[in-house]
Amino acid sequence: MFITNLLFLVGLATAEGATPKPGTSHQHAKRGETSRGARPSAESPGTSGCTYTFIVPQQQLTGPICLNTRSPVSHNHSELQVIRQEMREQQQQIEDLRQMVEVDGDVLNEVKILRKENLIMNTRVTQLYTQLLHEIIQKKDDSLEVSQLEKMVLNITTQVLKLSSKYRELERKYTALSSLLNNQSQTISQLEQQCRQCSQEHQQNQQHKPQVKPRLPSFTLLHIDSTIQAHSLSLRP
């Protein structure tokens, strides 16, 4: 924008210097050349450095036309060098800005990518945290179930021990009862033998003596009662 304004001002100054007023003389034309020489030329860095000045007088020409090819090259050259240097600096600044914009664009893209990755990682971390909580809760439930099962096993073991002790006690009682039954069977067999002997003796006595009412021996019943009481006392815990 600065270069465009500068070229516009140079073109305007050239147009003013090339248009003389009525009644001007050759000195006024030289003054116009001086005013043009004080300002930079309209040439661009890409055009040639030659300039031509045509002086058109208002009065009628009576002689040859002189062409003045002199131009303030020394003044314009230094100004052009300054302008070119400024243009180079501005171009360098523009290139630097472009590079900065490109770098900023790359950085912006990287930041966007990092944001997306951050969102993905946050989502993944949330999923893992939820899964971990679920596993912890499940392990707690499993531990509760295991503790309940252990309690059940202990209770069942206690019941089994109680049942085994009761079974042993019943087995001991059964053994005692079986021994009592054996003793009673032996007693009964002895009583039967005694009854047979008594009946035989009674028959023999009946044959030799008059009839007398038979009397059962009392010691046998007392012996049976005492045997039963002894066995019942031995079965008590």
More confident site: 218 or 156? 156
Highest mean pLDDT among 36-50, 190-204, 208-222: 190-204
- Integer Cα distance of 79 and 145 in angstroms: 96
Give the residue-averaged pLDDT of 25-45. 43
- Per-residue pLDDT at 196: 83
Q: 56-104 pLDDT, tens per residue?
A: 656 666 766 665 555 555 557 778 888 889 999 998 999 888 888 887 7
Sequence-separated (6 or more) residues with CB below 8 Å from residue 43 = 49, 51, 80
Higher confidence at residue 2 or residue 123? 123
**Structural domain span for residue 6:** 2-71
In whole angstroms, give the CA distance from residue 163 to residue 68: 142
In a domain, 156, yes or no: no
Q: Give CA–CA dist 162/106, Å, rounded.
A: 82
Residue 128 lies in a domain: no
Mean pLDDT of 196-221: 64
Give the integer Cα–Cα distance in Å for 28 and 19.
11
Q: Which residues contact 41 (CB under 8 A, 6 or more apart)?
A: 10, 14, 49, 51, 71, 76, 80
Token pair belonging to 222? 């007392």
How far is Cα 119 from Cα 24, in angstroms, rounded to an integer? 81
On whether residue 157 sits in a domain, the answer given is: no
Percent of the chain with pLDDT over 90: 17
Q: Which of 34, 54, 71 is the last residue of a domain?
A: 71
Name every residue whose Cβ is closer than 8 Å to that of residue 80 and which is 6 or more positions away in sequence.
Answer: 40, 41, 43, 45
Q: For the chain, what's the residue count? A: 237
Residue after which a domain boundary falls, among 43, 71, 99: 71
Q: What amino acid is encoded at 226 in this protein?
A: S
Check residue 99 and give its pLDDT.
83
For residue 50, being part of any structural domain is answered with: yes
Taking residues 173-201, report their average pLDDT. 86
Q: Within a domain: residue 145?
A: no
Which of 71, 88, 109 represents a domain boundary (last residue)?
71
Residue 192 located in a structural domain = yes
Dihedral sign of CA atoms 172, 173, 174, 179 in order:
positive
pLDDT over threshold 90, residue 32: no
Number of domains comprising the chain:
2
Cα 166 from chain centre? 60
Taking the C-alpha atoms of residue 173 and residue 231, their distance in angstroms, rounded to an integer, is 11
Contact between residue 170 and residue 196 where contact means Cβ atoms under 8 Å apart: no
- Residue 83 inside a domain? The answer is no
pTM of the full structure = 0.31
Within a domain: residue 96? no
For residue range 93-135, what is the model confidence (pLDDT) as tens digits? 998 888 888 877 788 888 889 999 999 999 999 999 999 998 8
